[in-house]
Structure 1
């Protein structure tokens, strides 16, 4: 019997410094892509308790990391999109900039602690935003994502 685990696919750019100044498009999914972040019924629609906790966590990222800003975000039923900007020069001489993984991991842990249960799948997806055109296209994608939910690749319905 083969007891070796399959190796996980690396989803980060090899050799890239994820603490360097730049903008990053992040997607974080809930475990098994369960729709935990919205309340969706005929009588009630909006963020669930989990979704509200995630919103609080996202909006406090800049308070915990002075050189990190959340420029844009969208909370969907089973995933979150954000544009994170790291400005390493603003971290000061004695403090190195956090990596994207540090920021996302910290946010996920805080949400899990607040809820008393982990709602996240392992890891997250990221894309280094390369230039203004790319940034604006991602901004628009995040803006329009709720309108396209049924056709979203992460839709489970």
Structure 2
């Protein structure tokens, strides 16, 4: 059986990449990441008195994020928060001697931000599957290359304030129609 590829349909429905063109996502730098659960379901727990209270899978999401450097020794965990249905985190790829620039490309990824996030998401999902916990991730994630120290500090504050602003957060299912 032959499959016909329709280039017009591909162009019409293709979701463009939010990645920074020509950037090496394995290079030395700070990256801000947001990962959401499928359907923005509150799998990770809830916010009580402005603090996250984790479900079992929320606790695993928290612990596995802390454990990223065990799998990728060049990663330093900076500020992060696991919210009921998403995670915000700053990752510092400490690779000052990384000199072989490999711009962002489609295809297999290793030792870069995509492989770190893929491994993290796979680990949390595997735990959920093995322990019969209903859970799934949104297929993609958001990232931003942090350009300077001022931006880094603003994002740190945003991450720290996230639980305090949960009542107004657009990712809070209770605000769906606000």
Structure 1 match to 2:101: none
- How far residue 15 of structure 1 moved from its aligned partner, in angstroms, is 1.2
Structure 1 residue 140 corresponds to structure 2 residue 153 = no
Partner-residue secondary structure (3-state), 2:14? coil
Q: Which runs of 4+ in 1 moved over 6 A?
A: none
How far apart are the structure 2 equivalents of 1:27 and 1:52?
A: 17
Partner-residue secondary structure (3-state), 2:30? strand
**Match among 135, 158, 172 for residue 155 of structure 1:** 172
Q: Is the 8 Å Cα contact of residues 38 and 51 (structure 1) preserved in structure 2? A: yes
How far apart are the structure 2 equivalents of 1:40 and 1:143?
A: 13
How far apart are the structure 1 equivalents of 2:169 and 2:151?
A: 20
How far apart are the structure 2 equivalents of 1:151 and 1:40?
A: 12
- How far residue 153 of structure 1 moved from its aligned partner, in angstroms, is 2.3
- How far residue 118 of structure 1 moved from its aligned partner, in angstroms, is 5.0
Structure 2 match to 1:114: 127
* TM-score, structure 1 as length reference: 0.86
Q: 1:90 to 1:56 in 2, by over 3 A?
A: farther
Partner-residue secondary structure (3-state), 1:119? coil
Structure 2 match to 1:16: 23
Q: Is the 8 Å Cα contact of residues 30 and 79 (structure 1) preserved in structure 2? A: yes
How far apart are the structure 2 equivalents of 1:90 and 1:52?
A: 34
Q: Is the 8 Å Cα contact of residues 26 and 126 (structure 1) preserved in structure 2? A: yes
Answer with 1 or 2: which has the greater Rg.
2
Partner-residue secondary structure (3-state), 2:64? helix
Root mean square deviation of aligned Cα: 2.2
Unaligned runs of 5+ in 1: 92-96
How far apart are the structure 2 equivalents of 1:54 and 1:125?
A: 17
Q: 1:118 to 1:38 in 2, by over 3 A?
A: closer
